[in-house]
Amino acid sequence: MMELLHYEFMRNALIAAILVSIACGIVGTYVVIKRIVSISGGISHAAFGGVGLGYLLAVNPILTAIPFTILSALAIGIISKRTRGGEDSAIGIIWAGGMALGILFIDLRRGYTPPDLFSYLFGSILAVPTTDLVVMLALDAAIIATVALFEREFTAISFDEEFSTIIGVPTRRLYLLLLTLIALSVVVLIRVVGIILIIALLTIPATISIQYTDHIRRVIFFSTLIGIITTIIGLCLSYIFDLASGASIVIVLITALIVSTLLKPDPRATTRTILRL
């Protein structure tokens, strides 16, 4: 393992694994508790529009994916609250629209086929450049600061949004803010596991943690730790056996979930106990 650290791309990959796990451990906990996994999937696929825009403008796709993904997340939140179709319709509209725009943006650059396009779709943690690490670090800092400020409010709306509204919590604004954090997490994850596999890192570590603790801060901590361990294992396996890094990481995550479920006689965790801070 120490020999791998002699290579810059491996050092970058390990740093990326840590940064990604921090974002997933924090945001993924609220995604799982509030049961908005499908929304996370819609946001992640809509991010492809931002990637395509980056190729069209000939700039780093990560930089264009940030505002595009945030706007997509806000659009899902607003549409879901203002239409009869609700969240399902909003997810379908933004999911399809984002993917379609991404394809059109890339197609508009006639005669140009992005050499690393698959890395955004399926992940390539071994190819994460230093510039992307800086962006990921900044996004992690924004996520940590926001959750530190609104931890109790996020917890409240995750368990009972209607009651939170009654007692005066600005649930709609906080809901949109939570979707924004999901969008930032998606951007952090794009280069590691890719748009197609993002939902696994956002949900599996938190799902495992909830089986073993009833304290939300511990859920966040263990989700982050599980994310770091499984991502590094998947990274090493992909390097040793020359496999796709994103898919390897997801398979390790699923294996960890199966093992943890088998080892836990009663994996159920109630919202009543998890609410404790």
**Domain map (residue ranges) of the chain:** 2-274
Which phi and psi (to 5°) does residue 162 adopt?
Answer: -65, -45
> Each residue of 147-181: pLDDT tens digit?
999 999 999 998 888 888 888 889 999 999 999 99
- Distance (Å, rounded) from C-alpha 75 to C-alpha 198? 20
Q: How long, in residues, is the chain?
A: 277
Residue 267: band (very low, low, confident or very high) from pLDDT cuts 50, 70, 90 = very low
Structure tokens at 178: 């939570």
CA distance 147 to 43: 19
Q: Tell me the pLDDT tens digit for each residue of 199-211.
A: 999 999 999 999 8
Q: 202 near 29, Cβ under 8 Å?
A: no
Q: How far apart are CA 166 and CA 163, in angstroms?
A: 5
CATH architecture of the domain 2-274 equals Orthogonal Bundle (1.10)
* Residue 274 clears pLDDT 60, i.e. is over it: no
Q: What per-residue confidence (pLDDT) applies to 101?
A: 95
The token pair at 107 is 């197609």
Sorted by sequence, the CB contacts under 8 Å of residue 56 that are 6+ apart come out as 105, 106, 108, 109
Using the 8-state DSSP alphabet, how is residue 213 labeled? Answer: -
From 78-82, 151-155, 229-233, 260-264, the region with the lowest mean pLDDT: 78-82
